Amino acid sequence: MKILTSGILIAFALVISPMTIHAAGGATMSLSASDVTVERGDQFDLTVSVNANNEGLDTVRSVVTFDPSVLRAQNVSLVGIFDRSAPGNYLDNGSGKVSWGAFTLEGPINSSSEFITITFLALESGDATVALSSDSRAISNGKEQINVSSLTTTSVAVENAAEADPTLSLLVVSSTTHTNDVDWYSATSAEINWVELAGDSTLSSYYYSFDKTSNTDPSRYLSSDTNSVTVSSDSDGVWYFHLKGVQADGRETKTIHRRVNIDNTVPNDIELVAQDNRILEGESAWLTFATTDETSGVMQYQVAINDSEFQVQASPLEISDLEAGTYFFRVSALDRAGNTTYGSTSVRVYPPDTDLERPEGFDDTSEIEGIVEGTFGDDDGDETSGATNYILLSLILGALIVFGSIYATKRKQD
């Protein structure tokens, strides 16, 4: 139990806690622009880059603050070398904060790389500052290496949009394959359709683009009698379909930027552990399982025992009242696009009088059960406290994936 508990505490401290003491490392973190001017209602992207400066980084986390009365964080996408999502990522438009972490299994990073791209929506006119917080992290083998004095900010000016010209045509864009611009889809090709609400001049042509930038000026020509197009992605992530029309009098319509979420990759391998693969009748089998998904995120886990149907479950999972026999457990992890990965393990249950030759002083109280009891305590009916503790335990278990994966990879490299 000591090994499991200490591992959890280390992972939890490095990934989640904002109280980690900073060392005077040489790694830097910066935003892609110092100034941005945007119209109210439009979107814009800011990219966070990390320069390792030969510090051998394996894990990074950006904590970005902004004024939520002026800006809204729409989504975050991983880019660059740090390509595995860390536990505990979130964006909070109530307080104006994005906390996003990632790690790599490709060995220590000593160079510069883009890390994440954040898409913001300009809510109201005014001035706002987007800033990298000193809670940001750049970690090398468990040691903090970020230089917080080098963290940058971006000044954002949001201007009132010009009044809509009633003589201009309006375009309404939709999709028959990716019907909701918030949901995730595994299909890599999207069928995009549009209708024109005519102005006082006919349209002579359309221009479109399909990329990962939220505010591209479209450049690919389409004839005026076109009202649909099929676009394809070459990678997972948040894509945008951009469309504008050009009237016969030379004036352009307002450009439409339509979001398309694509995730065609299964979640990472499941870390599935049976607390004890040999137990006696009357004892509980405990399973822990977790994984990460870099794009749409893990939506749920399902567990099947032997030939039973899969049922939605949460980790850690206690299975009690097992009769003597061998039980084969299958666990599936589903992401928000419906992609699925699987893991499996088995547990043998012996009659109660069987000598399993356990070590002297063996305690049949589960280590996992102890962690659950220590985290949740007694059920006092406090739903808020229960939810908070559940999130805490999930983050702790998820943090083990990060450092377990990194440690295993380093051992293979050594």
Looking at 124, 159, 194, the residue that finishes a domain is 159
How far CA 345 is from CA of 88, 110, 201, 279, 327, in Å, comes to 27, 38, 67, 14, 9
1 domain residue, yes or no: no
Prior bond of 218 cis (ω within 30°): no
Instruction: Please tell me whether residues 101 and 218 are part of one structural domain.
Output: no
pLDDT tens for residues 179-238?
A: 999 999 999 999 999 999 888 899 999 999 999 999 999 999 999 999 999 999 999 999
Nearest to 334 by CA among 299, 293, 371: 299
CB–CB of 63/97 below 8 Å? yes
Instruction: Please tell me whether residues 276 and 247 are part of one structural domain.
Output: no
pLDDT of residue 199: 87
Give the total number of structural domains in the chain. Answer: 3
Task: Return d(Cα 275, Cα 267) in angstroms, integer.
Answer: 23
Domain range for 71 is 26-159
pLDDT tens for residues 160-186?
A: 987 878 889 999 999 999 999 999 999
Instruction: Please tell me whether residues 257 and 279 are part of one structural domain.
Output: no
Instruction: Please tell me whether residues 250 and 326 are part of one structural domain.
Output: no
Instruction: Please tell me whether residues 92 and 189 are part of one structural domain.
Output: no
206 domain residue, yes or no: yes
CB–CB of 372/392 below 8 Å? no
Higher per-residue confidence, 392 vs 37: 37
Residues 65-94 as b or e (16 or more Cβ within 10 Å = b)? bbbbebbbbbbbbbbbbbebbbbbbebeee
Count of other CB atoms within 10 angstroms of residue 366: 20
How do beta strands 153-159 and 35-39 pair? parallel
How far CA 321 is from CA of 107, 324, 327, 355, 378, in Å, comes to 45, 10, 12, 19, 22
Q: Per the structure block, which two tokens stand in for 241?
A: 């379909």
Nearest to 391 by CA among 88, 92, 18: 88
Q: Per the structure block, which two tokens stand in for 233?
A: 């992605």
CB-count burial class (<10 Å; 0-12, 13-18, 19+) for 360: exposed
Looking at 159, 191, 206, the residue that finishes a domain is 159
pLDDT tens for residues 253-302?
A: 999 999 999 999 999 999 999 999 999 999 999 999 999 999 999 999 99
Q: How confident is the model at residue 383 (pLDDT cuts 50, 70, 90)?
A: very low
pLDDT tens for residues 70-84?
A: 999 998 999 989 988
% the chain with pLDDT above 90: 71
Instruction: Please tell me whether residues 139 and 174 are part of one structural domain.
Output: no
Q: Per the structure block, which two tokens stand in for 370?
A: 């102890």
CB–CB of 257/215 below 8 Å? yes
Q: How confident is the model at residue 108 (pLDDT cuts 50, 70, 90)?
A: very high
Secondary structure letter of residue 254 according to DSSP: P
Residue 68 belongs to a domain with what CATH number?
2.60.40.680
% the chain with pLDDT above 70: 81
Higher per-residue confidence, 383 vs 356: 356
7 domain residue, yes or no: no
Instruction: Please tell me whether residues 194 and 72 are part of one structural domain.
Output: no
Q: How confident is the model at residue 87 (pLDDT cuts 50, 70, 90)?
A: confident
- Which residues of 291-377 form beta strands (DSSP E)? 298-305, 311-313, 317-319, 325-335, 340-350
CB–CB of 57/64 below 8 Å? no
21 domain residue, yes or no: no
Looking at 262, 287, 315, the residue that finishes a domain is 262
DSSP H/E element including 116:
strand 112-122
97 domain residue, yes or no: yes
Q: How confident is the model at residue 23 (pLDDT cuts 50, 70, 90)?
A: low
CB–CB of 48/63 below 8 Å? no
Instruction: Please tell me whether residues 41 and 146 are part of one structural domain.
Output: yes
Instruction: Please tell me whether residues 206 and 110 are part of one structural domain.
Output: no
Instruction: Please tell me whether residues 201 and 254 are part of one structural domain.
Output: yes
Instruction: Please tell me whether residues 287 and 312 are part of one structural domain.
Output: yes
